Chains A and B, each alone.
Chain A
Amino acid sequence: MTENIVVTGIGVICSIGTNAQECMESFRAMRSGIGPIQHLKTVHKNEFKLGEVKRSNLELMQMLGFSGDKRTYSRTTLLAMVAAKEACDMANVGKGDKLKIGFVSSTTVGGMDITEQKYLKDNKDNSYLLSHPCGDSSRQVADYLGFISYYTTINTACSSGTNALIHGVRLLKHGILDKVIVGGVDALTMFTLNGFNSLMILDRDDCKPFDANRKGLNLAEGAGYLVLERASEAKNPLCEVVGYANANDAYHQTASSPNGDGAYKAMMEALEMSQLKTTDINYINVHGTGTGNNDESEGMALNRVFTKGCVPPFSSTKSYTGHTLAGAAGIESVFSVLSIVNDVIYPNLNFTTPIQGLELIPVTELIEGSGVKNVLSNSFGFGGNNSTVIFSKHETLY
């Protein structure tokens, strides 16, 4: 039960890169992935900017070596396969003998990208519906990886990936699994674009997280996965998972409470588990969607947890990637691990004016070599779901 859990592999695909290295290059070049719509089929093509993965489905299939494969894969599944494969390759997962390896994923839309193109239009062949359920993308990824004995899917909206991590850690600690791949994925869909548009929380220009003049989020797509193992059995740990928590805001179905009660609770409980002091946190990867409500509420919670004026360096990497919904927490966990491994703090793009009353100014230039040891990452979602995870430099790496 007291067994420590470490990260031994990471994989990511999003608008700023198709793997971890490409994402780091984009961070260093301060190059955002948000731009005009290239792939998504929608009548709003010229109205919004999105964080699309710069690959067509066909190109993703080529990356996976599926060139002759006639089966239909949802974009969600393809993105998950690319990132999960990268994470497994790095950790050498699947090459061990008789190990119990699990896959705990998360998605909010599942195969909606296919469903929305065919539903009500093609009544002859309904086989596309098989890929519709959230759990089906995880089943397909598990089949593709070929060594998964347990898989499940979490859908707690935009906090999902951290909750997948929490469930995965538990499975390791109780010996139900020996290794687990955790994270999340979502592809861009007409469904979510119109959904967020109907809520009027989309910025038509580049999003400006934590800026007083922020107008909303940029919808995006991607996947991020981590391989977790028990520290005693891991060969090459990248860092350690030292704290995590999940709480509910219990305020409103979609909005966050003005004081960020759920966010506060999630951060406090994760800190308590980690036994770290607030001053030990070197970088916070905030949820920071760029909506009026999220940033205000999360900002209040940050000031409550760390005290106003003493909040550690923070930034929202959604200013690079856009908001990938269930992909966000997995992707940002990967970025948090990369922050520790490369000792780098990412800037928050498009920030000029602080939100009045919060006195919170995100990092706006890339910081290298400041000695990043402990990183806290927040992920919040609809339904009042708030989750926090803390990664620390592993003792063997000091």
Chain B
Amino acid sequence: MKLYIKSSDCVSAQQSFENSLPMEFISDTPALFYTCIQPEYKKFISPNLLRRMSPIIRNGVSCSMSVLKKAALQQPDAIIVGTALGCLKDTTSFLTQLIQDNENLPNPTHFIQSTHNTIAGQIALLLSCSAYNFTFSQNHNSFETALLDAQLLMLDQKANHVLVGGVDEMNELSYGLIKELYCYKNSKPGEGAAFFLLSTDKSKVEFKGVRIINGSTIDFNLELAGFGITWQDVDVLIGGDNDVKDSAYNDFAMYFYNKPYLWYKPFVGEYGTVSAQAFWLGTKIIEEQKIPACWSKNSLMPKEIKNVLIYNCIGNEHSLMLLGLNSDCPKM
């Protein structure tokens, strides 16, 4: 069974939402972390609900609704969300109130909205969708394990259209809580949401698989064999490099020496589910069959864009995701 990306969208620090791939970037600011460009929320969420939603829920819900709208689908067969740190703003608000007021009646709304599954729950609630509903929270593999669960659910023929995404948020209060995490030591934190409708309906972009590796090293030969491809089959790489000297990606860049190499974290920031942004970038370059120069790290451009391999690595959590061009796609 083949699976496809029927529609996708992405909220980020760049002009990505409801847009084609940005041709240039909004220049970096001296702020401590990247903040998303806010979608026009009221297009997707009623003002009453919007007032009570934290940014992570607003971005997750808006992004999901846009994805479903693009696919002209009322309800998905499953909703699977990955989030590394969940609803940080509500968590930190509740925690701060709790500590400062010495446990004297903190605001229940912050507690209610602090659980990680509030995002998937709110999407289900807005769609009145009683289908399968999961939330994964595994640091830098949160989106990847959500994607794997979606794939297996579809291979089990339990679903034909799965809404799957990765979302995390950042704000000043939360920054105090996370700045010490090792993944942010040499990078600028960020936030964002990227959602996808994984479907059995044919589209231009095929989802060819995800491989999650927990360990100190990774054998690229073995992992490519797991995808059923070889070195030659990879046309474009998307690496998770935070800067030009990010040594975590040395082995990857070396293994695929002289292949077109794209990066994205220097423009959207680092966060737990940022690889969902790379998955969106991969989807867009296959759909559009072109790569705006600003995304390229090594200035090499492919002759054709068939297979795009995405690699992310933080500590011992590695992941590889493969997207491919479906050449017999019906005319859209």
Contact = CB atoms under 8 A, between A and B. Distances in A.
Interface of A: 1, 42-44, 108, 115-116, 119-121, 126-127, 129-130, 132-136, 138-139, 142, 148-157, 163, 167, 170-171, 173-174, 176, 190-191, 194-196, 198-199, 246-254, 261-262, 265, 381-385
Contacts of B111: 194-196, 198-199
Nearest to A149: B214
B180 A130 contact: yes
Contacts of A121: 99
Category for how many chain B residues contact A:
35 or more
A350 B86 CA distance: 37
B137 A135 contact: yes
A170 to B, nearest CB: 4
Interface stretch (B22-30, B150-158, B236-244, B251-259): B150-158
Q: Closest 9 CB pairs between A and B?
A: A383-B121, A195-B111, A198-B108, A155-B116, A383-B117, A126-B180, A135-B139, A135-B138, A248-B133
A328 to B, nearest CB: 14
Interface of A is mostly: mixed
Contact of B155 (A174, A254, A382): A174
B118 A383 contact: yes
Contact of B136 (A42, A148, A154, A176): A154
B128 interface: yes
B37 to A, nearest CB: 26
Nearest to B103: A43
Interface string B93-120: 0111011101101111001111111101
Contact of B94 (A108, A138, A195): A195
B112 A254 contact: yes
- Most interface-central of B117, B120, B127 (chain A CB within 10 A): B117
Contacts of B135: 154-156, 383
Contacts of B248: none
Contact of A119 (B102, B142, B148, B177): B177
B106 A253 contact: no
Contact of A129 (B121, B125, B139, B180): B180
Contact of A155 (B79, B117, B156): B117
Contacts of B84: 133, 135
B177 A382 contact: no
B45 to A, nearest CB: 14
Contacts of A108: 115-116
Contacts of A253: 112-113, 118, 121-122, 125
A42 B103 contact: yes
B99 A129 contact: no
A219 to B, nearest CB: 13
Contact of A130 (B86, B103, B113, B182): B182
